Amino acid sequence: MGLSAVKSYIELIRLPNCLIIALATYVGYIVSSTSLQVSEKLLVLMLSSFFIAAGGNSINDYFDLEIDKVNKPWRPIPSGRISPNTAYKFSLLMFLIGTILSFLTNIQCILLAVLATLLLYYYSKMIKRKGFLGNITIATLSALNLLYGGFLGEEPLISLIPASYAFIIILGREVIKTIEDIKGDSIVGVKSLPIILGLKKSMIIASLILLTLVAISPIPFIINLYGIMYLIVAVLGVDLPVICALYYLVLKKNASLSKKILKIPLALGLIAFLVGEVIG
């Protein structure tokens, strides 16, 4: 396999996205555990989440071929760099590796791995075309990823806190993504919010969702769960980028840039919880 082919597969799995998901698994563990160390089981679980995410991103591109021919013709499959059949088999391999790795942890993680794999597959195949239900599904999957790590800790329910934050920001970002993809979605009959309600109402919904995140981000500090360092990272790394993303969405009508900006709070939101655990 040549370097160009490797780059195509890295693009197919959306490597940065997979790395963030592996980090989320770690954060889920850290907030629910008394240890900050990376154990063998945690490392296995992080690899598991990485491979399952890689499978989900790959299968999504496979089922989105017709949409991406319009919206993202440069992607590996519509551009012809990876054939649909090869991408399909590759995604199943990623799912298989990720699920097998979960069997080295515990029963709760095994069940979550199987559930996530099935949801990712059927999300890409059919649920995604159900509009807002698809947005909720992918946001739920993102939240479950933090619980995935949490189930290795002594108090797994604490991971519900960062999981709820992840749910909100992913839900808002998914709505913005449907605004960006409205042209291709309309061609293949996806019942997304912008197609059903229109662009203006969809922007309002996305804004309300993301502003909810800004409103609740100080809560761990207010209830003395974390200290001032958490609040600083949350405000600078999450709240400000979210407001910036909404500026480009609502005032500049640039959904694509808004969606890209939201990658910042996705990563730094996890860092905020890590800082909260380590520093206070």
What's the CATH code of the domain at 260? 1.10.357.140
Tell me which amino acid residue 7 is. Answer: K
Encode the chain (280 residues) as per-residue pLDDT tens digits. Answer: 678 899 999 999 999 999 999 999 999 999 999 877 788 999 999 999 999 999 999 999 999 998 888 889 999 999 999 999 999 999 999 999 999 999 999 999 999 999 999 999 999 999 988 889 999 999 999 999 999 999 999 999 999 999 999 999 999 999 999 999 888 888 778 889 999 999 999 999 999 999 999 999 999 999 999 999 999 999 999 999 999 999 999 999 999 999 999 999 999 999 999 999 888 6
Q: Total structural domains in the chain?
A: 1
| Helices (H), ranges, 126-236 | 132-150, 160-180, 182-188, 193-197, 199-216, 219-222, 228-234
Residue 205 CA to residue 235 CA, distance in Å, equals 22
| 3-state per-residue secondary structure call for 32-84 | CCCCCCCCHHHHHHHHHHHHHHHHHHHHHHHHCHHHHHHHCCCCCCCCCCCCH
Parent domain of 122: 3-278
Question: Cβ distance 15 to 76 under 8 Å?
Answer: no
DSSP letter, residue 238: I
Question: Cβ distance 45 to 29 under 8 Å?
Answer: yes
